[in-house]
Amino acid sequence: MIKPYKLSNKHFLSNIDLSKDEVIFLLKLAKSFKNTDLEFNFKNKVLGLIFDKSSTRTRVSFQVAMQRLGGTTIELNPNTSQIGRGELIKDTARVLNRYCDALAIRTFKHTTLEEYAKWSSKPIINALTDTEHPCQALADFLTIQEEFGDFNNAILTFIGDSNNVANSLILCGAILGVEVRIACPKGYSPNPQVIQKAKEINKSDKLLKIFNDPNTAVKGANVLYTDVWSSMGEESKKEVKDKDFNGYTIDQNLINQANKDAIVLHCLPAYRGKEISENVMESEKSRIFEQAENRMHVQQALLSCLLS
């Protein structure tokens, strides 16, 4: 029987905190959690949730994952705790890690998360920052593996904004050796630091490709992925970005140019008619809701290792 083990890093702030073997192991463990009732007794274990931004999937999937492991969660609303009144992270972290066994944090700046990790003796989990969404990427690659059996022939084209979700796909793709293509308008290319990190992880220059033309980017691809054009915190940029991303919708026309076996992913929430058409969203190509379900299974696997 597959058993969780202690990961090499205490925290999970980024996919690059995991080795390739650890990613593969977590996906396998997630699959076991999905298919079987692995017995767990995390009776007195508590996961604290700090969400500075909205969430449906991440919040609930962490709550249910922890419950399935026999543990509990406690939600710290920043507005009703002292966090929202400016208590220092170094004080908050050192108090909370005396009550909680791990903290999952969704916030704006990645440096905020790093500050928690610096002061916390218990695992800190990235539940999304402006720059990365690593739990999402684990669920995405599990969904791809379920579809194709392995990653050998997978080519993932992300169409849209080079945001937190795209960054995590780039990094996790580099770890797994999967070709990731980003199709974005000029001026919206991925963060050079993320590109640099991906290149350090995987020297092959065939793995990460940047395109401005989505039609070219989907040729030969069997995973088409998109996310909102304006992320949380970018509300003031929405009007400009809606114009700039015109032509970057995953619609039937784009699907027709990809591989015949191509599937469509979206981390959700989706804006139909913007980054994805209603037809594609509801088509047989979509694995979007399987992908959403997989959030829970990978997080159950992640928690079982981080708390072991």
Binding footprint of ligand CP on the chain (CB under 6 A): 55-58, 128, 136, 267-268
Record the tokens describing residue 6, joined without a space: 């202690």
Contacts to ligand NVA by CB under 6 A: 163-165, 227-228, 231-232, 267
Nearer to ligand NVA, 22 or 227 (CB): 227
Catalytic pick among 63, 136, 291, 299? 136
Catalytic residue among 295, 297, 299, 300: 295
CA distances from 64 to 6, 76, 112, 187 (A): 22, 17, 26, 39
Q: How far is the CB of 103 from ligand NVA (least distance, A)?
A: 19
Answer yes or no: 267 catalytic.
yes
| CB of 126 or CB of 164, closer to ligand NVA | 164
Handedness of CA 14, 17, 18, 20 (dihedral sign): positive
Give the span between the Cα atoms of 265 and 267, in whole angstroms.
7
Rounded least distance, CB 130 to ligand CP, Å: 13
Q: ∠ CA(50), CA(287), CA(110), 5° rounding?
A: 30
Q: By three-state DSSP, how is residue 283 classified?
A: coil
Our answer to whether residue 85 is catalytic in this structure is no
Please tell me the distance from the alpha carbon of residue 212 to that of residue 215, in angstroms, as a whole number.
9
Is the CB of 120 or the CB of 163 nearer to ligand NVA?
163
Asked about 68 being catalytic, the answer comes back as no
- Closer residue to ligand NVA (CB): 11 or 295: 295
For residue 288, the minimal CB distance to ligand CP (Å) is 10
**Rounded Cα gap, residues 93 and 118, in angstroms:** 9
145/226 with CB nearer ligand NVA: 226
56 binds, among ligand NVA, ligand CP, none (CB under 5 to 8 A by kind): ligand CP
- 227 in catalytic set: yes
Three-state secondary-structure class, residue 255 = helix
Q: Which amino acid is at 185?
A: P
The CA distance from 164 to 14, in Å, is 11
Closest-by-Cβ residue to ligand NVA is 231
For residue 212, the 8-state DSSP code is S
Q: Is 136 a catalytic residue?
A: yes
Q: Compute the least distance from the CB of residue 75 to ligand NVA, in Å.
A: 18
The Cα 207–Cα 220 span in angstroms is 14
Catalytic residues: 106, 133, 136, 227, 267, 295
